[in-house]
Amino acid sequence: MNHPDKQFIVITPARDEEAYLERVIEAIVGQTVLPAEWVIVDDGSVDQTAEIARFAATKHNWIKVYRRKNRGYRDLGAGVAEAITEGLVQVSVRDYDFIFNIDADIILGPKYFETILKKFEEDPGLGIAVGEVYERINHKILKMRAQPLGMVGALKCWRRTCFEQIGGLARGEGWDGVDCLQAMRFGWRTATFPDEELKVIHLRQCRTSVRSIFYGWMRHGRALHFAGSHPLYVLASALYHSIDRPVIFGSIFLIIGYLEAAVKKSNQFNDREFRRFLRQWQLKRLAEIIKIKCPEK
């Protein structure tokens, strides 16, 4: 069924996702509420991703396929933000109320779109919303630990007016946190909802090699630098993640990633007012956490 009063579009960046894309297509086609348009952005795949997407488009006229040039590698930061942005250029965004990003390895429950659209209908101030992501780790399905306030890049729903006000997506590591903080800066609420209908499965088996794990933590550190995070918040983030695998070492590599980006003077999100808001928000969060853990007698 369609949702005529709340028209929405879906963008899916996909690079070498032949192992998962058919199941993702099946899950979206099976939704109780269907998007008006779904653009699958083939981000330079060298496998059968484009062919799978094109076949789906022949069966469903609301599916479109757009192909980008192959940059030669998977870019989970700026590359994903650019793919989503280019996908949006292929449609008339102004015709829709909501924009979804769904990765090509994410499986939605059948009422995902219906349920999250109701969240927006109930709260006019809600600008960005997501469900909780569960991952495959060592053959177990576990909830992804750090995913507060809608800061989940694998799936997003933006209210279009919010998306336009924040100026679209930042081109860099951590774009999926910057958009939420920009939205909060302009007075929007952002949320990760735990509803059963909004739980999704990340099909890709999380890599467990030492190299891939450490690389992931360094990306986290670089993302904190890109946003312009306060050094105290970076240290607090490292402390928070010290119990995540690999215990302690992940936090060390988070800090290494942050310091490496700072020393190299890597690009940062170029908005001074945003960085001022971000640091004030981060320090306020730290103060609230300290107060909770150390209550006044």
At residue 292, the pLDDT reads 64
**pLDDT average, residue stretch 234-250:** 89
How much is the pTM?
0.90
In contact, 190 and 129? CB cutoff 8 Å: yes
Q: In this model, does residue 106 exceed pLDDT 90?
A: yes
Strand partners, 140: 137
At residue 205, the pLDDT reads 67
At residue 253, the pLDDT reads 94
Strand 189-193 relative to strand 126-131: parallel, antiparallel, unpaired? parallel
Q: Could you tell me which residues come within 8 angstroms of residue 92 by beta carbon, excluding any fewer than 6 positions away?
A: none
Measured from the Cβ of residue 62, the count of other Cβ atoms closer than 10 Å reads 15
- Confidence grade of residue 295 (pLDDT, cut at 50, 70, 90): low
Q: What pLDDT digit, counting tens, does each position of 48-63 carry?
A: 999 999 999 999 999 9
At residue 210, the pLDDT reads 63
**pLDDT average, residue stretch 86-96:** 94
Domain with CATH 3.90.550.10 in the chain: 8-205
At residue 144, the pLDDT reads 79
Q: What pLDDT digit, counting tens, does each position of 195-236 carry?
A: 999 999 999 865 555 677 788 899 999 999 999 999 999 999
Q: In this model, does residue 177 exceed pLDDT 60?
A: yes
At residue 148, the pLDDT reads 82
**pLDDT average, residue stretch 96-119:** 97
> CATH fold of 8-205, please?
Spore Coat Polysaccharide Biosynthesis Protein SpsA; Chain A (3.90.550)
Q: Could you tell me which residues come within 8 angstroms of residue 193 by beta carbon, excluding any fewer than 6 positions away?
A: 116, 119, 129, 130, 131, 132
Percent of the chain with pLDDT over 70: 93
What does pLDDT average to over the chain?
91
At residue 297, the pLDDT reads 46
Q: In this model, does residue 31 exceed pLDDT 70?
A: yes
At residue 170, the pLDDT reads 95
